[in-house]
Amino acid sequence: MTQAESILVIGAGIAGMKASLMLAGPARKVYLVERLPIIGGKTIKNEESFPNMECSTCMVAPIQQAVLQNPHIETLTYSAVESIEGSAGDFSVSVRIKARYVSLEACIGCGMCFEVCPVTLPNEWEESLIEKKAIYVPCSGSLPNVPVIDSERCLKLNGTEECNLCVESCAFEAINLEDEDRLLELKVGALILATGSETFDLSALPGLGYGALPGVYSPMEFERLFASNGPTMGEITLRGSGAVPDRVAIVHCAGREEQGYCSGICCMYSFKFVRFLKHKLPDVQVFNIHSDVCVPGKNYEDFFRSVNGGDTEMLFTSSIADVHVSGTDSGLRVAYPDGGGVTADLEVDMVILAAAIIPAPLTARLAELAGVELDDSGFIRTSLDGSGSMETSRAGIFTAGTVEGPKDIQSTVIQAESAAGQVAFLMSSMADLTERDPSGKSVKS
């Protein structure tokens, strides 16, 4: 197989996985590079996805399995792209496969090694709401279900002591503490960047109390709090006290003003949180403090209506920027200007902040490596010609999903399918790729 028939997809979330599955086949090989030790992306952090309230794992796991079992996809987990040279049809990419210390072939995921590991550290994948061992899988249900060792914290690897407990515990001789990083040089014809996004850093909004007040949660923290494979096994209990919340306020648009755009999905995930709360705590009172309700498209208004009125009280504020959360003796107070501009107070014991979707911290670095332009918000720029093309400013490099801007799962999948189509088209017409027209198509000679 020549480079013209190989493709590199960066990021194994739903966009990267879908694009890989569409492109992989007897005539085309796909390299799928993922920074984390597991594939699946952000979607698998959500127990249920709006608007169907479908089990996300049930939706994504078959896609993950299909990727891992596809003979035409080489999935490189715990790996990072280090350089991208060349041009459309002829890229050279170097990928660092970080030392995992556990064999993907030999390990069966029995978990004996983490039982014996003496080191505990925060589990960032679980928003640090729980700890993990120095040898770990991020969550139960991880795919591939093979742990990785944090080399900086492992006592043997960081030189603290001659601990060998995990190696001794493994019946499969799958752990090799001598493992080293490997560099892989790939020749590919095209790339798809699908590295996803992050949520707004809420500590930048001190008035909302995140970080200072334990009862104030980020959306991802709340997703994991609800997840049955999460830190509390799905019990919604308050950080610190362990009490069950009686009154919860969801504050919309956290970070919208700072970012300068509406992310378009936060209203929907906020209403999903209402469902989560009422599902597990039927007597809980939920308030949504909002300005504009943004539920675009044929699927979302129904969902909004299903929670509005019965399950939550919608409280309009004339200025989200002036919402203030403070601690009280018994819980939290949310002060907000109401429709008439008069400050209203709400006493609650839990606050969830609907944070904006922002570029992932590594997006700028990736754009630099790939030599592609970012837009004014820091997302990867596409459709420079306004045609809906998923090609970036550099020919042969495409993008899909939230690395291109905030969006829901449906739009993410649509972009992945678009990008896959454009790559397939490019591959089939590679021979006469001499001139390009603005629509991103090769010009036929």
Instruction: Mention every residue, 6+ apart, whose C-beta is less than 8 A from residue 150.
Output: 121, 134, 135, 136
Q: Which lies closer to another protein via its Cβ, residue 253 or residue 369?
A: 253
Shortest Cβ 52–another protein spacing (Å): 6
Q: Quick one: 158 or 318, whose CB is closer to another protein?
A: 318
Whichever of 200 and 300 has its CB closer to another protein, that residue is: 300
Nearest distance from C-beta of residue 320 to another protein, angstroms: 13
Q: Give the separation between CA 219 and CA 250, rounded to whole angstroms.
A: 10
Q: Quick one: tokens of 267?
A: 């209203």
Least distance between another protein and beta carbon 80 (Å): 27
CB 71 within 8 A of CB 30: no
CA-angle at 317, arms to 316 and 322, nearest 5°: 160
Shortest Å, Cβ 64 to another protein: 10
Q: How far is the CB of 1 from another protein (least distance, A)?
A: 15
DSSP codes of every residue in 376-441 = TTSSBP--TTSS---B-SSTTEEE-SGGGS---HHHHHHHHHHHHHHHHHHHHTGGGTT-B-TTSP
Q: In the complex, what is the shortest distance from the CB of residue 48 to another protein, in angstroms, rounded to a whole number?
A: 12
Helices 266-280 and 219-226: crossing angle in degrees, nearest 10, is 30
Nearer to another protein, 80 or 268 (CB): 268
- Which lies closer to another protein via its Cβ, residue 93 or residue 315? 315
7-26 b/e (C-beta count within 10 Å ≥ 16 → b): bbbbbbbbbbbbbbbbbbee
Toward another protein, which CB reaches closer, 81 or 360? 360
